[in-house]
Amino acid sequence: EAKEMGGDTVSLFTHALRERDEQRARLREALAAALEAEELELHLQPQRNLENGSLAGVEALLRWNSPRLGRWVAPAEILSAAAELGLVGRLDRQVLRRAVQLLAGWPGPPPCLAINISVSTLHDQRFAEEVRDALHAARVAPGRLEIEIPEDLAVRDLPAVHQTLTALREVGVTLALDDFGSGHSGLPHVVRLPVQRLKLDRSIVAQLPEDAKAMAVLRATMALARGMGIEVVGEGVETEAQATSLHEAGCHVIQGWLIARPMPVEAFLASLPPPLLLPAPAQTTRVGAG
Ligand code: C2E
Ligand code: MG
Ligand code: MG
Ligand code: MG
């Protein structure tokens, strides 16, 4: 009997594994079709300057509500499926195209719009040229586009990526190091990256002001940024107390639910105060549409 139970356990286990593999396969299949159909969207989240209350930038975040899967799929899940399919480059390029298109069609003076780009895409020597061409074709000033680079990039410190970053700076786009303080990037790496902004990770911000170590990371980050002449953006700010700690430490730009959640493009444009509240052109929120 014991042997039989053991057998059942094993078959339950293999069944669960098979189920998981099938789910992943369905996700990959749905994603491949969604990329083909340009079904993925960007939602927008504002950054606020605490000194004067102005809009200090906007981050575009990937959103996918799959009709086929019947659910929203989180960016991390999208990215790992895209990696399994070898389609990260394609995904990043759809995001780039859509962001440039949003900037080109912005009602009023466009803000600086940030997109997230994967390390593998930054390996590609053609990427900077593609960015330049996309901006040029849409007549968008390069300074309006910001590229957020993943924090783990700072660790890898790869020559090919450095070349792309330098080329992107030559194109004139803004570069931001995302998730700073989330774990890996040592200061020696960071100071060599040609970035204009550091985004202080939510895991640090969440512990302000009670946690002494988080406060120390904040102070050290501000000192580093001052030394490099770059701006710090506090990420994932949810409370007034967190905003106050950041402001007092000299971090004047924040992003997070305290200000606003990421929103569909139409809702974002409608939330802008006058004089930016001009009639928005009819547009879809599809990544890379048109
Ligand atoms: P990220 O670039 O650091 O983006 C910030 C994440 O924090 C977003 O999660 C955002 O929705 C969330 N967030 C913003 N404010 C708050 C807050 O106050 N509290 C909390 N708890 N969360 C907040 P999201 O949209 O799930 O994206 C997760 C990550 O996926 C992003 O982290 C980014 O690394 C990646 N990602 C998102 N969109 C793209 C994309 O278009 N391309 C690539 N390559 N990666 C993307
Ligand atoms: Mg980001
Ligand atoms: Mg981040
Ligand atoms: Mg992140």
For residue 2, pLDDT beyond 60: no
Confidence bin at 191 (pLDDT 50/70/90): confident
What stretch of H or E contains 197?
strand 197-200
Q: Which of 97, 116, 124, 184 to mutate to test the pocket of ligand 1 (most atoms within 8 A of CB)?
A: 116
> What is the per-residue pLDDT for 10?
76
Could you tell me if the CB of 238 is within 6 A of ligand 1?
A: yes
For residue 14, pLDDT beyond 90: no
> What is the per-residue pLDDT for 289?
40
Q: Atom 4 in ligand 1: which residue has the minimum CA distance?
A: 61
Could you tell me if the CB of 35 is within 6 A of ligand 1?
A: no
> What is the per-residue pLDDT for 12?
82
Could you tell me if the CB of 46 is within 6 A of ligand 1?
A: no
Q: Which ligand is nearest to the CA of 83?
A: 1
> What is the per-residue pLDDT for 231?
97
Ligand 4: distance of its center to the CA of 235 in Å? 9
Could you tell me if the CB of 79 is within 6 A of ligand 1?
A: yes
Residue 218: C-alpha distances to residues 20, 113, 202, 212 (Å): 41, 25, 11, 10
For residue 6, pLDDT beyond 70: no
Ligand 2: distance of its center to the CA of 73 in Å? 17
Confidence bin at 1 (pLDDT 50/70/90): very low
Average pLDDT over residues 180-189: 75
What are the residues whose beta carbon lies below 5 Å from ligand 3 (ion)?
A: 178-179, 235
Q: Give the whole-angstrom CA distance, residue 58 versus residue 22.
A: 37
Confidence bin at 204 (pLDDT 50/70/90): very high
> What is the per-residue pLDDT for 273?
76
> What is the per-residue pLDDT for 272?
87
pTM for the whole thing?
0.91
Average pLDDT over residues 107-120: 94
The alpha-helical segments, DSSP class H, found in 38-175 are 75-85, 88-104, 119-122, 127-137, 153-156, 159-171
For residue 290, pLDDT beyond 90: no
Helix (H) and strand (E) counts in the chain: 12, 10
Could you tell me if the CB of 72 is within 6 A of ligand 1?
A: no
> What is the per-residue pLDDT for 277?
47
> What is the per-residue pLDDT for 278?
47
Ligand 1: distance of its center to the CA of 165 in Å? 21
The pLDDT tens digits of the residues spanning 17-73 come to: 888 899 999 999 999 999 999 899 999 999 999 999 999 999 999 999 999 999 999
Average pLDDT over residues 271-278: 65
For residue 285, pLDDT beyond 80: no
Residue with tokens 């997109």: 115
For residue 145, pLDDT beyond 70: yes
Could you tell me if the CB of 76 is within 6 A of ligand 1?
A: yes
Could you tell me if the CB of 263 is within 6 A of ligand 1?
A: no
Could you tell me if the CB of 179 is within 6 A of ligand 1?
A: yes
Q: Which of 62, 145, 285 to mutate to test the pocket of ligand 1 (most atoms within 8 A of CB)?
A: 62
The pLDDT tens digits of the residues spanning 230-271 come to: 999 999 999 999 999 999 999 999 999 999 999 999 999 999
Average pLDDT over residues 199-225: 96
Residue with tokens 């792309």: 164
How many degrees, rounded to 5, is the angle at CA 19 between CA 17 and CA 22? 110
For residue 174, pLDDT beyond 80: yes
Q: Which residues of 71-109 are buried (b: 16+ CB within 10 A; e: fewer)?
A: eebeeeebbebbeebebbbbbbbbbbbbbbbbbebbeee
Q: Atom 15 in ligand 1: which residue has the minimum CA distance?
A: 256
Could you tell me if the CB of 175 is within 6 A of ligand 1?
A: no
Q: Is the ipTM of this complex over 0.95?
A: yes
